[in-house]
């Protein structure tokens, strides 16, 4: 095997390849498009397409595809081959600039949330030159945005790019006010830590719930769970290690900076973190990472579960969205500086984030709302559904001092330095860790921990970027008109702290007392379930935010509302139907078979030993018969509820009905089934148990 630097990015048409394969003039115009969004001339596009095609064909590619991210959350691709007939009966390999720039997949099979009804069914994909093309499965994949013909976005990438633009616009205004004329572009960067489970493929195949829904709908707790804390950072098992090595290699070839891997808290749970990169690229890379995890797992006889809560009673999986803002000349704006002046700028950006999180708690919650993620947020697991910001004692102390206009005498015992009026200098290294906070400052970045493991990180970053752009806009508006910059700056920072300190919380976010304090004393929002929060997407203040920064048009928001709730409803209805099927065709028959054999054993014993009371068998048969009756009754109730809910028309009302009627009935059906599992001989049970799944990979 070659050394990593030799094959890293070997399947990516990256800057190195562009430079090597494009005429100098073409390369220069393409860079201008990538860096400044300049329009690409068709001659240039033709030259780029030809070079890309030659490069891809030399690496075995036969097809190309526009690779995009529809609202389903997974990526979509439609493959066309490069072949084109030549007059001599053979073929030549062709790829035109037009084919590179724009494609026309049929939009009608992708969710549009009503946009299809009002607009044309056709959609088009448009090349996103800021994300490099790559080869996957002998196909040249061109990252693209996906829109309706009338221009509305039907994907997650378009609004993400718009939100990055909005933040860039407002951050540049603020930097100019600080006298910085050099910076040309401000970008956000993300490093998403991805959690996942690995289970044995043969066992997975035996469970309809895993195959149809990605999570277990039944299953008694195993006698060993995660209580020993022996899995976290534990030695990696050989089969898992082989999977990880293979996965890294695939990701490195795709230019993805896979960096850290370790076992997570739950048995069979693992994590992979890449080195952070520009948000747009990080989003594409995370989608590819999830896809590769599943593909590579299959090669190792494993299945990678990306669901947020595959097992009840053990930790679920999330995605930690590490997020920072930096300039094109490499300054991290969320990093405390060396001089008081730099610190003033840092504090302003910090305040912009705090204000954004407080003002738009609801949008952040909406951005991570899925049926799967509801099992983490709002259930008994960290992080909670209440959005709060962790800053650590040091930084909180600094903000307190500013708010109260007193000298800062915190841990560092640093006196206020009067460079920019009264803003203090404090140590750079402020990396307290708090694993329960949904939104934690970790030294030079924020870690948004509410994102679900299966979800695209696009939505979370769209909301985050836009909300922060809004804070910065408010600051820039005020500072541009200020008589005295420093006084205004100081006042604004103070005001932000005063108005928004309710969202800062350094304690245990897992605690019931906190939830009570947050909601009752501080007035923070606590939307436990998806149907509770998604309607707030269409609140006036949120529509104003998202439309005024050009991130979403009104119709696009209405469409996202529809699609998000539709997804929620479909997911849970599929789960409910799967439960009904499994209970009726697998669980009840298994219990019956065991009961019959137990009864037969008792009869045989009575014949052998006349007068034998057979108390054990009688008790067991009685208990299991009662459970079977319960299961049958609860199955019927759930089935009835599914029919009722299907009749509820509007998607908001339907999602609420599903939350209130279907989910409780699913829990009620599960209970007797799980109890029966603990009483039924293992060889009768129709599918692998939690113990088999969680400890089955060696």
Q: Does 345 bind ligand ADP (CB under 6 A)?
A: no
The burial of 623, by beta-carbon neighbours within 10 Å (0-12 exposed, 13-18 middle, 19 or more buried), is given as middle
Cα–Cα distance measured from residue 604 to residue 681, given in angstroms and rounded to the nearest whole number: 19
Type and span of the H or E element at 318: strand 318-327
Q: Does 226 bind ligand ADP (CB under 6 A)?
A: no
Q: Do 258 and 251 form a contact (C-beta atoms < 8 A)?
A: yes
- Partner from Mg ion, ligand ADP, none binding residue 276, C-beta < 5-8 Å depending on class: ligand ADP
User: Closer CB to ligand ADP, residue 61 or residue 468?
Assistant: 468
Distance CA 177, CA 270 (A): 45
Cα distance between residue 492 and residue 345, in whole Å = 12
- The span of 313-321, 335-343, 373-381, 421-429 binding Mg ion (CB under 5 A) equals 313-321
Burial 648-670 (b: 16+ CB within 10 A, else e): beebeebbbbbbebbbebbeebb
191 binds ligand ADP per the rule CB under 6 A = yes
Three-state DSSP state, 153: strand
Which residue's C-beta sits nearest to Mg ion? 320
Quote the least distance from Cβ 197 to ligand ADP, whole Å: 18
Q: Which residue, 118 or 260, is less far from Mg ion as judged by CB?
A: 260
Q: Is 320 in the site for Mg ion (CB under 5 A)?
A: yes
Rounded CA-CA distance 561/559 in Å is 5
* Residue 103, strand partner residues: 125
Q: How far is the CB of 194 from ligand ADP (least distance, A)?
A: 9
Q: Exposed, middle or buried: residue 28 (CB in 10 Å: 0-12, 13-18, 19+)?
A: exposed
Window of 19-27, 79-87, 187-195, 554-562 that interacts with ligand ADP by CB under 6 A: 187-195
Report the nearest approach of ligand ADP to the CB of residue 432 (Å): 12
Phi and psi for 320 in degrees, rounded to 5?
-90, 115
Task: Kindly state the number of chain residues that form the binding site for Mg ion, as judged by CB under 5 A.
Answer: 1
Interface residues for ligand ADP in 439-468 (CB under 6 A)? 442, 444-445
Among residues 332, 488, 547, 630, which is the contact residue for ligand ADP, using CB under 6 A?
332
Least separation in angstroms between CB 28 and ligand ADP: 30
The answer to the question of residue 273 lying near ligand ADP (CB under 6 A) is yes
Site string for Mg ion, 641-660 (x = CB under 5 A): --------------------
Q: For residues 585 and 591, what is the distance between their CA atoms, to the nearest angstrom?
A: 11
Q: Which residues contact 260 (CB under 8 A, 6 or more apart)?
A: 193, 271, 272, 273
Beta-strand pair 186-200/133-136: unpaired
* 649/653 Cα distance (integer angstroms): 7
User: Considering only residues 471-530, where is the footprint of ligand ADP by CB under 6 A?
Assistant: none
What is the nearest approach in angstroms of ligand ADP to the Cβ of residue 342?
16
Nearest Cα residue to 584 out of 65, 208, 239: 208
50 versus 256: smaller Cβ distance to Mg ion: 256
Q: Which does 692 bind (CB under 5 to 8 A by kind): ligand ADP, Mg ion, none?
A: none
Q: Which is nearer to Mg ion, 134 or 276 (CB)?
A: 276
**Reduced DSSP (H G I as helix, E B as strand, rest coil) percent helix, strand, coil of the chain, to 5:** 50, 15, 35
Residue 103 touches ligand ADP, criterion: CB under 6 A: no
**506 binds, options Mg ion, ligand ADP, none, Cβ within 5 to 8 A by partner type:** none
Query: Which residues have CB under 8 Å from 254's CB, separation 6+?
Result: 9, 11, 12, 134, 136, 285, 288, 292
Q: Compute how many other C-beta atoms are within 10 angstroms of the C-beta atom of residue 579.
A: 27
Stretch that binds ligand ADP, among 272-280, 464-472, 549-557, 667-675 (CB under 6 A): 272-280
Q: Which of 125, 213, 261, 324 binds ligand ADP (CB under 6 A)?
A: 324
CB of 1 to Mg ion, least distance (A): 30
Stretch that binds ligand ADP, among 53-61, 269-277, 401-409, 662-670 (CB under 6 A): 269-277
Residue 273 binding partner per list Mg ion, ligand ADP, none, with a CB distance cut-off of 5 to 8 Å that depends on partner kind: ligand ADP
Minimum gap (Å) between residue 434 Cβ and Mg ion? 11
Q: Per-residue string for binding with ligand ADP, 135-174, x by CB under 6 A? A: ----------------------------------------
| Stretch binding Mg ion (CB under 5 A), from 250-258, 316-324, 589-597, 637-645 | 316-324
| Binding residue (CB under 6 A) for ligand ADP from 189, 314, 348, 558 | 189
- Between the CA of residue 522 and those of 188, 388, 436, what are the distances in Å? 30, 11, 18
In the complex, what is the shortest distance from the CB of residue 466 to ligand ADP, in angstroms, rounded to a whole number?
18
Out of 33, 226, 322, 530, name the contact with ligand ADP by CB under 6 A: 322
- Does position 365 interact with Mg ion (CB under 5 A)? The reply is no
Q: How far is the CB of 447 from Mg ion (least distance, A)?
A: 5
CA angle 422, 440, 257 (to 5 degrees): 115
* Residue whose C-alpha is closest to residue 692's, from 270, 203, 196, 238: 203
Closest Cα to residue 467, out of 328, 336, 326, 361? 361
Choose between 193 and 617: whose C-beta lies nearer to ligand ADP: 193
Site for Mg ion, rule CB under 5 A: 320
Site for ligand ADP, rule CB under 6 A: 189-191, 193, 273-276, 322-324, 332, 442, 444-445
């Amino acid at each position: 095997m070659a050394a990593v630097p030799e094959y890293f990015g070997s399947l990516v048409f990256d800057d190195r390849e562009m430079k090597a394969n494009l005429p100098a003039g073409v390369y220069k115009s393409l860079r201008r498009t990538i860096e400044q969004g300049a329009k690409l001339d068709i001659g240039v596009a033709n030259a780029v397409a030809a070079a890309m095609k030659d490069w891809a064909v030399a690496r075995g590619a036969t097809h190309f595809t526009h690779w995009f991210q529809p609202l389903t959350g997974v990526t979509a691709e439609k493959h066309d081959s490069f072949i084109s007939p030549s007059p001599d009966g053979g073929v030549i390999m062709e790829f035109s600039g037009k084919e590179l720039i724009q494609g026309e997949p049929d939009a009608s099979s992708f969710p549009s949330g009503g946009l299809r009804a009002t607009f044309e069914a056709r959609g088009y994909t448009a090349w996103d030159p800021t994300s490099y093309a790559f080869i996957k499965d002998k196909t040249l994949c061109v990252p693209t945005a996906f829109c309706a013909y009338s221009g509305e976005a039907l994907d997650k990438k378009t609004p993400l790019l718009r939100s990055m633009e909005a933040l860039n616009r407002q951050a540049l205004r603020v930097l100019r006010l600080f006298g910085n004329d050099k910076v040309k572009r401000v970008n956000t960067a993300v490093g998403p830590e991805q959690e996942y489970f690995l289970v044995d493929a043969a066992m997975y195949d035996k469970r309809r719930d895993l195959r149809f829904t990605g999570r277990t709908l039944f299953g008694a707790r195993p006698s060993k769970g995660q209580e020993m804390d022996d899995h976290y950072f534990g030695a990696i098992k050989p089969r898992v290690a082989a999977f990880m090595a293979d996965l890294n290699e695939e990701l490195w070839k795709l230019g993805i900076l896979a960096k850290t891997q370790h076992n997570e808290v739950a048995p069979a749970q693992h994590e992979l973190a890449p080195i952070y990169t520009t948000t747009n690229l990080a989003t594409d890379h995370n989608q590819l990472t999830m896809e590769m995890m599943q593909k590579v797992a299959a090669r190792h006889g494993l299945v990678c579960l990306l669901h947020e809560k595959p097992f009840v009673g053990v930790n679920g999986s999330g995605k930690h969205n590490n997020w920072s803002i930096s300039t094109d000349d490499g300054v991290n704006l969320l990093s405390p500086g060396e001089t008081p002046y730099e610190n003033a700028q840092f504090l302003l950006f910090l305040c912009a984030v705090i204000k954004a999180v407080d003002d738009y708690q609801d949008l952040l919650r909406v951005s991570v709302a899925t049926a799967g993620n509801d099992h983490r947020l709002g259930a008994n697991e960290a992080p909670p559904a209440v959005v709060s910001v962790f800053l650590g004692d040091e930084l909180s102390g600094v903000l307190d001092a500013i708010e109260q206009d007193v000298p800062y005498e915190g841990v560092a015992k640093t006196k206020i330095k009067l460079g920019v009026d009264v803003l203090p200098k404090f140590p750079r290294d402020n990396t307290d860790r708090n694993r329960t906070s949904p939104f934690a400052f970790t030294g030079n970045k924020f870690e948004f921990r509410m994102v679900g493991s299966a979800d695209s990180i696009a939505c979370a970053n769209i909301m985050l970027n836009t909300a922060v752009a809004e804070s910065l806009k408010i600051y820039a508006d005020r500072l541009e008109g200020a008589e005295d910059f420093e006084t205004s700056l100081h006042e604004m920072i103070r005001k932000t702290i005063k108005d928004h300190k309710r969202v800062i919380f350094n304690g245990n976010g897992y605690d019931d007392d906190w939830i009570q304090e947050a909601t009752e004393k501080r007035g923070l929002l606590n939307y436990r379930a998806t149907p509770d929060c998604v309607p707030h997407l269409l609140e006036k203040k949120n529509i104003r935010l998202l439309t005024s920064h050009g991130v979403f048009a009104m119709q696009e928001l209405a469409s996202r509302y529809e699609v998000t709730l539709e997804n929620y409803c479909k997911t849970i209805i599929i789960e409910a139907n799967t439960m009904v099927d499994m209970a009726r065709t697998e669980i009840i028959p298994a219990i019956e078979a065991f009961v019959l054999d137990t009864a037969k054993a008792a009869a045989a014993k009575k014949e052998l030993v006349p007068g034998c009371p057979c108390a054990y068998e009688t008790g067991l048969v009685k208990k299991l018969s009662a459970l079977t009756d319960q299961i049958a009754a609860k199955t019927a109730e759930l089935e009835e509820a599914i029919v009722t809910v299907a009749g509820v028309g509007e998607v908001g009302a339907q999602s609420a009905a599903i939350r209130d009627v279907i989910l409780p009935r699913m829990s009620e059906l599960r209970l007797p089934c799980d109890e029966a599992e603990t009483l039924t001989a293992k060889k009768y049970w129709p599918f692998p148990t939690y113990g088999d799944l969680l400890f089955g990979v060696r």
